[in-house]
């Protein structure tokens, strides 16, 4: 009741008090979320902070938040003494390889599902979609047997091909293509363009936001991937970065500072992509969650 | 893999199917049986790469996994058919199985509850801010873009004996043991790390959904005298409930498969305190080479995922609000 009265008199004392209260509330809100965010970022700080110490200092018993002596050379040493360079290269090759195949294959199949009429289309799409629920570990054993039978253990194609055919991409792009007006295809068809030409010159440029999102998610998923590289490789020759981190964790006299340097390197692409693509991710997710009902 | 909801599409497509089947039958010319229509031929060409990949790397392995689960194959010997023996052994003989099952369910339930609670809180908090939303979204999204193994080794260092976690516990006088060396607390450490590493997905997704809630709904509620708490429970939560439902299903599915954190931090230990299904399948298959037994475990996991998903779809009628 009183608030109704005071809101009509903006210069009254209690209106000023309310404004002050609201400002304090806003300040507390920002202070609180900043504190949570700092706690959230702390493991990253700890990672870098321990990457630039000597291994003896990492293990020293009164824990120090900041290093006593900064050894920025650890990053260089990690590359020299452990094959982090190889791990990095393998990670890049596998993640880029999978992403390229997923995007190319999904564009073709998504276009077929969205625009072409053929018998059994809906049934096939449903079959594709139902595989989204299959747990990865269930496929891992037979895939390992298949890949080892083919002699593909410790090869790039053995690491790339078995994980490059997810129905997720087909579904994501199909949903997006359904939203592109059909008139554009038809106009191109009048001009005598083939279906492939329509896909490449009309649909792909328009579907770039969805293709970007698919590339981003595929690249990150592969960059993070651990179980399949663990099984499809043996030893350090074809190990990816996540694998490399654990390979050296089990050795006698773990070099924690090198592992932390490696972990830091392994998250660089993620940080860059998360910042650069923040808007795309956010838009893509709001589009995606729209499928969830509203 | 998480921002799309195929579920809402399914009923629609079933309708389409029946409609198109009815509509097309009388129109189908007889010649089309001999020569495929050009459009069908194009479709087959376009689908060929994905279909081949699907058959070789998805359908074949699924069938092989089912077949293997009925054999006693140990990689060196020739496999022989043993019927349901693996499954019977799981439920009656193997003393570890119920421990693994209990660990998996314990992890999934606690992790799911914490994940949804924490991500909803953070999302509502961030969406209430006027400025700087993007910065906070990136911060909470960062761990989800970090290889889980990298995140796990950092937390392994934090939890190392006499490490940072122990120092903090001692400084606060909490009197807790070292998490990773203690059977009761090891799983809590795994849950904490998994939460930190993955909560960002749901934060960003809920944040996006909250920003789509029409402003005038909230303004109308404010005029009616609803406080922030009532606005959340009566207006915002029901309006974003389809997104919450989707996130819950996806988080539950992934939580039953937890592996990376356990492999890097505890290898199922101490004892078998953190041995979950995902880890047990790997261990049985690739450490003990009991491929048949591990495949049976994998099918138990698949059935759990199916059952949980069906249960959640059944329960969604009670709490998910669709605006149509």
Best residue in B3, B52, B192 for a mutation probing chain A (most A CBs within 10 Å):
B3
Flag if A118 and B43 touch (Cβ within 8 Å): yes
- Burial class (CB within 10 angstroms; exposed 0-12, middle 13-18, buried 19+) of B62: middle
| Spatial distance between the Cα atoms of A119 and A69, rounded to a whole number of angstroms | 70
A46-69, pLDDT tens digit by residue? 999 999 998 888 888 888 888 888
pLDDT (0 to 100) of residue A75: 87
Chain A residues touching B56 at Cβ < 8 A: 146, 165
Residue A104: exposed, middle, or buried by beta-carbon count in 10 A (0-12, 13-18, 19+)?
middle
Cβ-nearest to A141 among B10, B46, B291: B291
- pTM exceeds 0.90: no
Handedness of CA B234, B237, B240, B246 (dihedral sign): negative
> What DSSP string runs through A82-131?
STHHHHHHHHHHHHHHHHHHHHHHHHHHHHHHHH---TTHHHHHHHHHHG
- DSSP one-letter string for B170-201: HHTT--PPPGGGSHHHHHHHHHHHHHHHHHHH
Q: Cβ separation of B43 and A50 shorter than 8 Å?
A: no
**Residue A202, C-beta contacts closer than 8 angstroms, at least 6 positions apart:** A184, A185, A188, A193
Q: Is B241 on the interface with A (CB under 8 A)?
A: yes
Average pLDDT over residues B34-52: 88
**Residue A214, token pair as written in the block:** 């698919």
Chain A nearest-CA distance from B92, in A, is 22
* Chain B environment of A31 (Cβ under 8 Å): none
What residues of B are in contact with residue A232 (Cβ under 8 Å)?
none
Beta carbons of A71 and A53 less than 8 angstroms apart: yes
Beta-bridge mates of residue B81 = B71
Contacts with B306 (C-beta within 8 Å, 6 or more apart), sequence order: A133
* C-alpha to C-alpha distance for B83 and B36, rounded to whole angstroms: 43
Q: For A83-111, what is each residue's pLDDT tens digit?
A: 888 999 999 999 999 999 999 999 999 99
Distance to chain B for A134, nearest Cα, Å: 7
| Closest alpha carbon within chain A to B66 | A138
Q: In the beta sheet, which residues pair with residue B71?
A: B81
Mean pLDDT on A128-138: 86
**Contact at CB, A133 and B167, closer than 8 angstroms:** no
Q: In angstroms, rounded to a whole number, what is the distance separating the alpha carbons of residues B196 and A20? A: 35
Per the prediction, chain B carries an average pLDDT of 86
From the list B126, B157, B278, the residue facing A50 with the nearest CB is: B157
Nearest to B281 among A126, A137, A288 (CB): A137
Chain B residues touching A152 at Cβ < 8 A: none
Burial B206-215 (b: 16+ CB within 10 A, else e): bbbbbeebee
CA distance linking residue A270 with residue A263, whole number of Å = 12
- Chain B positions in Cβ-Cβ contact with residue A241 (cut-off 8 Å): 147, 150
- Flag whether pLDDT at A158 surpasses 80: yes
Backbone angles phi, psi at B31, to 5 degrees: -60, -25
Judged on CB neighbours under 10 Å (0-12, 13-18, 19+), B198 is buried
B10 contact residues in A (CB cutoff 8 A)? 126, 129
**Whether the predicted pLDDT of A12 surpasses 80:** no
Would you state the structure tokens that stand for residue A266, as one six-digit string?
């392994």
Q: CA-nearest residue of chain B to A279?
A: B134
How far are the Cα atoms of A61, A157, A198, B146, B147 from residue B160, in angstroms, in the given order? 11, 38, 58, 21, 20
Task: Give long-range contacts, CB 8 A cutoff, 24+ apart: A99-102.
Answer: A99/A215, A99/A218, A99/A219, A99/A222, A101/A160, A101/A161, A101/A164, A101/A165, A102/A164, A102/A165, A102/A166, A102/A169, A102/A214, A102/A215, A102/A218
Which residues of chain A neighbour B4 with C-beta distances below 8 Å?
168, 171-172, 175, 288, 291
Least Cα distance to B200 among B260, B126, B271 occurs for B126
3-state helix, strand, coil in chain B (%, to 5): 75, 0, 25
Percent of chain A with pLDDT over 90: 49
Q: Higher-confidence residue: A278 or A76?
A: A76
Q: Best of B145, B162, B246, B256 to disrupt the A interface by mutation (most A CBs within 10 Å)? A: B145
pLDDT of residue A234 exceeding 70, the answer is yes
Query: Strand, helix or coil at A183?
Result: helix
Taking CA atoms, A188 is separated from A19, A202, A207, B45, B153, in Å, by 60, 8, 16, 20, 54
User: Within an 8 Å CB–CB cutoff, is residue A205 touching chain B?
Assistant: no
Per-window interface: A 64-103 vs B, CB < 8 A: none
**Residue A292 and residue B60: Cβ atoms within 8 Å?**
no
Find the range with the poorest average confidence among A90-94, A110-114, A214-218, B223-227.
Answer: B223-227
Output the pLDDT for position B323: 64
Q: Would you tell me the crossing angle of helices A13-51 and A256-276 to the nearest 10 degrees?
A: 140
Q: How many helices (H) and strands (E) does chain B have?
A: 15, 0
Helix (H, G, I), strand (E, B) or coil at A284: helix
d(CA A230, CA B287): 12
Quote the distance between the C-alpha of residue A91 and its chain's center: 13
Cβ distance of A126 and B13 shorter than 8 Å:
yes
Q: What number is the average pLDDT over the span B75-81?
A: 80
Chain B, 74 to 113: residues with Cβ < 8 Å from chain A are none
| Cβ–Cβ under 8 Å, residues A101 and A169 | no
């Amino acid at each position: 009741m009183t608030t109704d009265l005071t809101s009509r008199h903006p210069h009254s004392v209690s209106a000023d008090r309310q404004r002050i209260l609201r400002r304090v509330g806003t300040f507390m809100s920002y202070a609180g979320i900043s504190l949570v965010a700092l706690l959230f970022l702390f493991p990253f700080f700890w990672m870098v902070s321990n990457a630039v110490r000597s291994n003896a200092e990492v293990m020293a018993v009164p824990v120090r938040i900041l290093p006593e002596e900064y050894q920025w050379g650890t990053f260089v040493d990690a590359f020299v003494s452990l094959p982090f360079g190889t791990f990095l290269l393998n990670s890049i090759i596998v993640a880029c390889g999978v992403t390229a195949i997923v995007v190319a294959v999904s564009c073709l199949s998504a276009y077929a599902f969205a625009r072409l009429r053929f018998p059994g289309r809906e049934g096939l799409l449903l079959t594709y979609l139902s595989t989204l629920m299959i747990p990865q570990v269930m496929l891992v054993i037979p895939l390992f047997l298949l890949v080892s039978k083919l002699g593909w253990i410790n090869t790039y194609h053995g690491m790339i091909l078995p994980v490059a055919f997810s129905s997720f991409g087909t579904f994501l792009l199909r949903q997006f293509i359904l939203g592109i007006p059909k008139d554009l295809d038809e106009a191109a068809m009048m001009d005598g363009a083939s279906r492939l030409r329509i896909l490449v010159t009309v649909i792909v440029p328009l579907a770039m936001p969805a293709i970007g999102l698919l590339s981003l998610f595929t690249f990150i998923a592969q960059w993070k991937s651990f179980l399949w590289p663990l099984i499809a490789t043996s030893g350090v020759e074809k190990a990816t970065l996540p694998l490399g981190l654990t390979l050296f964790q089990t050795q006698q006299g773990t070099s924690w500072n090198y592992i932390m340097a490696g972990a830091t390197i392994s998250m660089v692409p993620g940080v860059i992509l998360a910042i650069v693509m923040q808007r795309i991710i956010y838009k893509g997710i709001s589009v995606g969650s729209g499928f969830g009902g509203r | 893999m998480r921002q799309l909801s195929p579920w809402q599409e399914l009923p629609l497509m079933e309708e389409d199917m029946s409609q198109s089947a009815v509509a097309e039958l009388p129109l189908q010319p007889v010649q089309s049986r001999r020569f495929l229509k050009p459009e069908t031929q194009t479709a087959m060409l376009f689908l060929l790469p994905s279909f081949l990949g699907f058959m070789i790397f998805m359908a074949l392995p699924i069938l092989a996994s089912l077949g293997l689960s009925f054999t006693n194959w140990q990689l060196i010997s020739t496999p022989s058919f043993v019927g349901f023996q693996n499954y019977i052994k799981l439920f009656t003989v193997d003393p570890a199985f119920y421990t693994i099952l209990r660990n998996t369910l314990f992890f999934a339930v606690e992790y799911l509850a914490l994940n949804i609670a924490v991500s909803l809180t953070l999302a509502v908090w961030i969406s209430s801010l006027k400025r700087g939303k993007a910065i906070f979204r990136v911060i909470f999204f960062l761990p989800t873009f970090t290889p889980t193994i990298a995140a796990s080794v950092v937390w392994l260092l934090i939890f190392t004996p006499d490490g940072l976690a122990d120092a903090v516990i001692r400084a606060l006088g909490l009197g807790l043991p070292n998490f990773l060396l203690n059977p009761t607390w090891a799983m809590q450490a795994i849950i904490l790390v998994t939460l930190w590493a993955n909560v960002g997905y749901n934060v960003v997704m809920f944040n996006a959904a909250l920003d789509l809630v029409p402003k005038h709904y909230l303004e109308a509620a404010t005029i009616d005298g609803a406080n922030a708490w009532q606005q959340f429970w009566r207006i915002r939560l029901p309006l974003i409930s389809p997104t919450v439902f989707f996130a819950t299903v996806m988080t539950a599915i992934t939580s039953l498969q937890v592996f990376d954190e356990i492999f890097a931090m505890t290898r199922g230990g101490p004892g078998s305190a953190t041995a979950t299904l995902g880890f047990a399948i790997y261990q049985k298959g690739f450490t003990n080479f009991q491929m048949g037994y591990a495949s049976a475990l994998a099918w138990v996991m698949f059935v759990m995922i199916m059952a949980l998903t069906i249960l959640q779809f059944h329960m969604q009628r009670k709490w998910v609000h669709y605006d149509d």
